[in-house]
Amino acid sequence: MPYYRIALQDIHFAYPIVELDFCEIKKNRVLAAVQSPPKLLFESVLISHSLGWVGNANRQVEIWSAPAGFLFKVEGGSGFYMSEDGQEISLINHQKEQVGQFALPALLMDLDREILLGPVIVFTLALRNTWSFHTSAAMFKDKIILFMGESGMGKSTLARYISTQKNWRLVADDILPVIADDISVMALPRFPQLKLPINAQPGVSLPEQLPIHAICILQTVDKNAAPHLNFIQPSLAVRDILAHTAGTRMFTPELLAAHLNVCAKIVKLLPVYHLSYPHRKEILPEVKDVLENIC
């Protein structure tokens, strides 16, 4: 029964997850009894219903308030039960003849694995005031820059390119958990990057938390334009940060309010820029120079 420290939070699973091997910790604990499946199913109340891109398709995603926790259901996949403190995650396998039977498979099916390592963990971390953003990130010496933008804007391409350059390294490829208080905003790189191979996870060799230096929102410009940065006023930057948060459609009103508060802190503490450049590989060295100037 392994424990994993993901984004500074200890989470227990009833079965090993190979993608989280680099986060596994040794820990002994007497677990509280989990509610029986029938009780979970018949005493749950739907609190969130939305469409989400999971398993290469738009699928119905539901969050249910359950006894002492939450049920997470994605169309076509199994269900997951999360304790209300975000410390325990169990699988409820709806593919078996007995609906709701708890299962401890040696290997999860691909869709369940993507559900668990994506939205389930994102929601579980949010329960513990840790917020995940759709962003790539790279570090120049000791300065971390986040790259946000719509799908296809080149976030991962930019981060992967500059991470091969002198004094740069990759921090995140697609999703990065973040925490913020009144004086700092910290990146938490111990989080699985699903688009990268298991043996190429950047969080393996990074500290558990690192201060963030700046946020860049990617934009495209005319193919002949030079790369440039435009500072965004905090009142406008909040909107951009909110737009690139993972999992907000799943959040309860309480989580949405807490998340808005954190985003307001982030834009007060960090500079947020529009980073505009033609999205061509040959322009990336110039983009790197622009980024090093703000570091």
Distances (CA, A) of 189 to 208, 266, 294: 6, 17, 22
Token duo for residue 72: 């997470």
pLDDT at 30 over 80: no
The pLDDT of residue 220? 83
Q: Is the pLDDT of residue 86 over 60?
A: yes
Compute CA distances 107 → 2, 77, 115, 217, 274, whole Å: 14, 14, 14, 38, 43
pLDDT reported for residue 290? 95
The yes-or-no verdict on residue 108 having pLDDT over 70 is no
* pLDDT confidence tier of residue 28, bands split at 50, 70 and 90: low
pLDDT band of residue 44 (cuts 50, 70, 90) is: confident
Q: What percent of the chain has pLDDT over 70?
A: 89
Q: Of the candidates 157, 172, 176, which has an alpha carbon nearest to the alpha carbon of residue 202?
A: 172
H helix intervals, 127-277: 155-162, 234-243, 253-269
Question: Greater confidence, 92 or 70?
Answer: 70
The residues spanned by each domain of the chain are 3-126, 131-294
- Mean pLDDT, residues 81-105: 64
Q: What is the pLDDT of residues 130-143, one digit of tens each?
A: 999 999 999 999 99
pLDDT confidence bin for 1, thresholds 50/70/90: low
Using 50, 70 and 90 to split pLDDT, how confident is the model at 174?
A: very high
- pLDDT for 85 equals 87
Q: How many residues does the chain have?
A: 295
Q: Tokens 């040794």 correspond to what residue?
A: 26
CA distance 63 to 143: 37
- pTM greater than 0.85: yes
- Gap between the Cα atoms of 202 and 169, Å rounded: 8
pLDDT of 151: 82
pLDDT digits (tens, 9 = 90+) for 275-292: 999 988 899 999 999 999
Asked if the model's pLDDT at residue 94 lies above 50, the reply is: no
Average pLDDT of 184-196?
95
> Quick check: 117 pLDDT over 70?
yes
Mean pLDDT computed over 75-96 = 80
Please provide the average confidence, as pLDDT, over all residues in the chain.
87
Query: What is the CB neighbour count within 10 angstroms for residue 64?
Result: 20
Give the rounded distance of the alpha carbon of 8 from its chain centre: 13
Residue 98 has pLDDT above 50, yes or no: no
Residue burial 114-133, b: 16+ Cβ < 10 Å; e: rest: bbbbbbbbbbbbbbbbbbbb
Say if CB 149 and CB 277 are below 8 A apart.
Answer: no
Question: What percent of the chain shows pLDDT beyond 90?
Answer: 58
More confident residue, 56 or 290: 290
Per-residue pLDDT band at 29 (split at 50, 70, 90): low
The answer to whether residue 93 scores a pLDDT higher than 60 is yes
Q: Indicate the DSSP class of residue 7.
A: T
Q: What is the CATH number of domain 131-294?
A: 3.90.228.20
Does position 33 have pLDDT exceeding 60, yes or no? no
- Residue pair 194/201 in contact (Cβ under 8 Å)? The answer is no
Q: What's the mean pLDDT in 87-93?
A: 82
What tens digit of pLDDT does each residue of 133-171 get?
999 999 999 999 999 998 888 899 999 999 999 999 999
